[in-house]
Amino acid sequence: MAELPERAGDPMPVDPPTLAVEDLTAGYGGVIALRGVSLSVGQGAITAVLGANGAGKTTLLRAISGLIRARRGAVRLDGADVTRRRPDDLARAGIAHVPEGQGVITELTVEENLRLGALCPSGRTSRADRTAALAQAYEQFPALGARRRKPAATLSGGERQMLVITRALLARPRLLLLDEPSLGLAPKIIDQVMTMIAGLRQSSGLTILLVEQNARSALTIADQGIVLGQGKVVATADAATLASDTGLLRHYLGL
Amino acid sequence: MQEFLEFTLGGISFGMIYAAIGLSLVLIWRGTRILNYAQGAMAMFTTYIALIIINHTGNYWAGFVVALAAGLVLGAVCERVVRPAEGKPPLNAVIVTIGLLILLEGLAGMIYGGQFRSFPTAFSITGLHIGGTALGIAWNDVFVAGAVLAAALALAALFRYTRVGLRMRATAFSSGVASLLGVRVGRMLTLGWALAGLIGALAGVLVTPSTFLYPNSMDSIFVLGFTAAVIGGLDSPVGAVVGGLILGILLNYVSGYLGSDLVPIFGLAALVVVLMLRPSGLFGAAATRQV
């Protein structure tokens, strides 16, 4: 059973963490991909989740957002138990999950993709709110504004990544789960995407869980890092400490 | 020339009925990747309900409206029945929807009996003329085509301009992503089936005056509606309507020039030819293959 040494014996904090994962076990069919993972992320922090292929990073995000069911353990959002709730329910409760790769609905236009995000907190936004939020998004990313009526299939890889992250933000989440946002992007674009993610925390106080293959660039923007190995937490530390621990990174990430 | 005009115009009205059945199949296929073999039987069942209401009240429109509402409800109920087969190997859904077909036709036979019943039209079936030229169609044919066209346009507007329409499309294209954006995917699928039930019920009420009503009365219409949907690509609502029109007009030429006995065989031949030459349909290739 993996434990977070920092938390052992801590008194219960007054404010519950934005995300608390307790002894979470999950998998697919007969395969257990996540074994008793515990972690805690405070409000406004970026936590990088690192690990080799098959370490359980994507499974962790999928179990938090409800895409797969937890077999054991609990997920708490702001202290409330949200384990085993449906993904759409969790999305409306404030968990935005940007899945790896195929998050863009290519048959819909850019604007329709974004509207789906803005419609997510249903009942909590007015039409004027949504229009204003969309206008703001276009101002921030003119490339999206210029193609708003075009099918999202026409966007480049970097633009798609901006689209899905912007769409997730329009849902006004409390917790943003990003799975491999740099996957398949050119190095220059990766820097842009990372800068954008770092900017999110500063501007909105959003709590972010960032799964990355690209450990170095993830650790430059993260506050803390969690290293998974074979479905378990093998290290938790602040980002600077992890980045300087070359032995650990080499062992678990092959860097 | 005179005959050609008559056959063409007459074919449009039949074609719009195939289009309606095709449209209802497309609605379900897009959302759930299930071909609903029970679609015709559902339409037959709601048409019986319409006939009872019409006989009881003496008002055609009361029966018409109740049939559409019953189609909506029956569609939603059938989705709940089929739901365990959603996302499973295709054969599961084939078996469940064929089971529904047999169940509905059996129920209709038990409740209403097997005899042929005539069903009234909404408007006159006296042939229309312009000057001295017979058009080969009556006001009722104009109504049939207009009603299906109106329903198709209303659906298009629903999908294009409303929030629920956007959510339904998102579910159809990518249900996993839709659920991550807070869309209640199950509810959207139920709604898709309900709308399909409604469009099917419309087709049933519109076509039955020319076929009589009996438990199997929609079987051949279902095959032609399926062909219309396949011509259009199964994924495209516009394609289903265009496919229905093409099929309706072609089959009316066959019926007019070669004899009405040949219509069923030509309908099946059209299906086979489309599946051989262009299995993705006229409108299917561009929109469906990318994910």
pLDDT digits (tens, 9 = 90+) for A206-227: 899 999 888 888 888 999 999 9
- Binned at pLDDT 50, 70 and 90, residue B284 comes out as low
State which H helix or E strand residue B266 sits in.
helix B263-277
What is the pLDDT of chain A when averaged over all its residues? Answer: 86
| pLDDT tens per residue, range A59-113 | 999 999 999 999 999 999 998 999 989 999 999 999 999 998 778 999 999 999 9
| pLDDT tens per residue, range B137-146 | 889 999 999 9
Give contacts of B 163-222 with A, CB under 8 A. 163, 166-167, 169-170, 173-174, 176-185
| Rg, C-alpha atoms of chain A | 18
pLDDT for position A101: 79
What is the pLDDT of chain B when averaged over all its residues? Answer: 90
Q: Which residues of A86-119 are buried (b: 16+ CB within 10 A; e: fewer)?
A: ebbebbbbbbbbbbbeebbbbbbbbbbbbbbbbb
Q: Please check whether residue A94 touches B, CB under 8 A.
A: no
Residue from A105, A115, A122, A130 whose CB has the most chain B CBs within 10 Å, to mutate: A105
- Higher per-residue confidence, A29 vs A148: A148
Is B179–A97 a contact, with Cβ atoms under 8 angstroms apart?
Answer: no
Cα angle vertex A201, ends A80, A39, to 5°?
Answer: 40
Say yes or no to pLDDT of B4 above 80: yes
Say yes or no to pLDDT of A2 above 50: no
CATH of B2-114+131-277, one of 3.30.70, 3.40.190, 1.10.3470, 1.10.260: 1.10.3470
* Cα(B257)–Cα(B251) distance, integer angstroms: 10
Is B179–A86 a contact, with Cβ atoms under 8 angstroms apart?
Answer: yes
Phi/psi at B117 (5° precision): -120, 145
Which residue carries 């059938």 as its tokens?
B78
CB B159 within 8 A of CB B2: no
pLDDT for position A1: 44
- Arithmetic mean of pLDDT, A220-238: 89
Instruction: Calculate helix-pair angle for B281-288, B237-253, nearest 10 degrees.
Output: 160
Q: Could you give the percent of chain B with pLDDT greater than 90?
A: 68
Which residue carries 């199949």 as its tokens?
B25
* Count of CB pairs separated by less than 8 Å, A with B: 71
Domain residue limits, chain B = 2-114+131-277
pLDDT for position A3: 47
Within 10 angstroms of residue B202's Cβ, the number of other Cβ atoms is 26
CA distance B290 to chain A (A): 8
Q: Could you give the percent of chain A with pLDDT greater than 90?
A: 44
* Cα(A47)–Cα(B19) distance, integer angstroms: 54
Amino acid at B185: V
Is B170–A117 a contact, with Cβ atoms under 8 angstroms apart?
Answer: no
